[in-house]
């Protein structure tokens, strides 16, 4: 009976923060079709039932289930969740090049010269040759249309007009400050297609190893709190479940429309009104850390790689033969 009272009191305390929590938002508020949830995220560790992180994190500190039969078994689970924000160790970038010309030799010479010019600039930034890779994508003829006139008709005929070659320039750099310089160098060679910029973290396992003791400490502290409340945890055996996740910035960019009301219409010189429509933009919206027990490196600027770990310790308590 004492245990049931503790469960009721803890359940009430658990839901109070959700009732008292206030919400604030900027322009992005006007673009939300629904409340943000984690239902769309992949299941932790590939285990079905843990894809909804929001529901997972909002569970009570522990769950107790009773199975009545000849005796009474109690299964208790204590959970912990930790998030760490990590600055990338390096960045991978892909630039897309397209070159056209009248003959194949001309096309290859021109695109090679453009790549060589960019490579020289990258070397001046301290990017080594082994961090640069040229990926050949395709080459194909280009056809034009000629009109073949006859006495009473016209025919449109495809004729060879030249060739097109596509290549991708892969590179890796350590300092994010070089990004703008690289883009400028590429633009000077008429390379405008920035295919991808991806952060890289080298020691992922080492990061998870640093989170694990924190999760363990939280679980042990909660078990001690239960003992202080008079809940004697004397299990027959224990079980441990662990789920990890790595979230890259590319998955956390959201779109929004700049909020402009009808009073902010532009006036032309002739005093005629021009309707102002909102612009669609992107912004980095990192993983919400409200549901985590602890956040490591919470104060960060700019996109980061986010690692999370969820640990669940299950206790199968000894049978209570006096239970009904």
Better-scored residue on pLDDT, 124 or 154: 124
Q: What are the backbone angles phi and psi of residue 2, rounded to the nearest 5°?
A: -60, -40
Give, as one character, the DSSP assignment of residue 31: G
Give the model confidence (pLDDT) of 209-242 as tens digits: 999 999 999 999 999 998 888 887 777 888 999 9
Measure the CA–CA gap between 256 and 27, rounded to whole angstroms: 8
Mean pLDDT of 108-128: 94
Give the model confidence (pLDDT) of 45-96 as tens digits: 333 333 334 333 333 333 333 333 333 357 889 999 999 999 999 999 999 9
Q: Is residue 299 helix, strand or coil?
A: coil
**What domains does the chain contain, in order, with CATH numbers?**
2-11+21-87+203-317 (no CATH), 90-200 (3.30.70.2970)
On average, the pLDDT of the chain sits at: 75
* Parallel, antiparallel or unpaired: strands 62-68 and 72-86: antiparallel
Q: What is the largest CA-CA distance in the chain?
A: 107
Q: What is the pTM of this model?
A: 0.67
Residue 159's pLDDT band (cuts 50, 70, 90)? low
Which DSSP string corresponds to 206-274? HHHHHHHHHHHHHHHHHHHHHHHTT----EEEEEEEEEEEEE-GGGGEEEEE----TT--EE-TT--EE
Measure the CA–CA gap between 207 and 213, rounded to whole angstroms: 11
Better-scored residue on pLDDT, 230 or 98: 98
Q: Where are the beta strands (DSSP E) in the chain?
A: 62-68, 72-86, 90-101, 132-149, 154-173, 193-200, 235-247, 253-257, 266-267, 273-274, 280-284, 294-296, 305-317
Residue 171's pLDDT band (cuts 50, 70, 90)? very high
CA atoms within 13 A on the CB side of 188: 15
Mean pLDDT of 286-309: 92
Give residues with Cβ within 8 angstroms of 312, minimum separation 6: 77, 78, 79, 240, 241, 242
For tokens 């079905």, the residue is 48
Q: Is residue 170 helix, strand or coil?
A: strand
Give the model confidence (pLDDT) of 3-52 as tens digits: 444 444 444 444 444 333 333 444 444 455 444 443 333 333 333 333 33
pLDDT of amino acid 48: 33
pLDDT of amino acid 71: 34
Do residues 257 and 232 touch, judged by C-beta distance below 8 A? no
């Amino acid at each position: 009976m004492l245990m049931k009272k503790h469960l009721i009191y803890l359940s009430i305390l658990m839901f109070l923060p959700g009732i008292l929590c206030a919400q604030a938002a900027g322009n992005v508020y006007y673009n939300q079709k629904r409340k943000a949830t984690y239902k769309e995220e992949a299941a932790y560790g590939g285990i079905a039932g843990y894809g909804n992180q929001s529901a997972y994190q909002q569970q009570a500190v522990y769950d107790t289930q009773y199975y009545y039969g000849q005796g009474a078994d109690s299964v208790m689970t204590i959970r912990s969740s930790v998030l760490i924000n990590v600055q990338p160790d390096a960045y991978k970038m892909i630039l897309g090049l397209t070159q056209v010309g009248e003959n194949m030799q001309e096309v290859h010479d021109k695109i090679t010269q453009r790549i060589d010019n960019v490579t020289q600039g990258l070397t001046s930034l301290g990017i080594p040759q082994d961090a640069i890779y040229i990926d050949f994508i395709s080459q194909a003829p280009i056809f034009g249309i000629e009109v073949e006139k006859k006495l009473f008709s016209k025919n449109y005929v495809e004729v060879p007009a030249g060739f097109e070659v596509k290549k991708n320039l892969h590179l890796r750099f350590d300092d994010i400050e070089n990004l703008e310089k690289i883009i400028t160098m590429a633009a000077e060679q008429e390379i405008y297609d920035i295919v991808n910029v991806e952060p890289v973290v080298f020691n992922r396992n080492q990061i998870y190893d640093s989170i694990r003791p924190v999760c363990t400490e939280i679980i042990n502290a909660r078990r001690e709190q239960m003992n202080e409340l008079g809940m004697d945890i004397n299990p027959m055996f224990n079980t441990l479940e662990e789920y990890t996740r790595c979230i890259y910035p590319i998955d956390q960019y959201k779109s929004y429309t700049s909020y402009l009301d009808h009073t902010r219409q532009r006036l032309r010189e002739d005093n005629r009104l021009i309707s102002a429509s909102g612009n669609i933009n992107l912004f980095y919206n990192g993983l919400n850390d409200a549901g985590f027990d602890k956040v490591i490196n919470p104060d960060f600027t700019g996109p980061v790689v986010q690692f999370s770990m969820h640990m669940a310790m299950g206790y199968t308590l000894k049978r209570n033969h006096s239970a009904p």
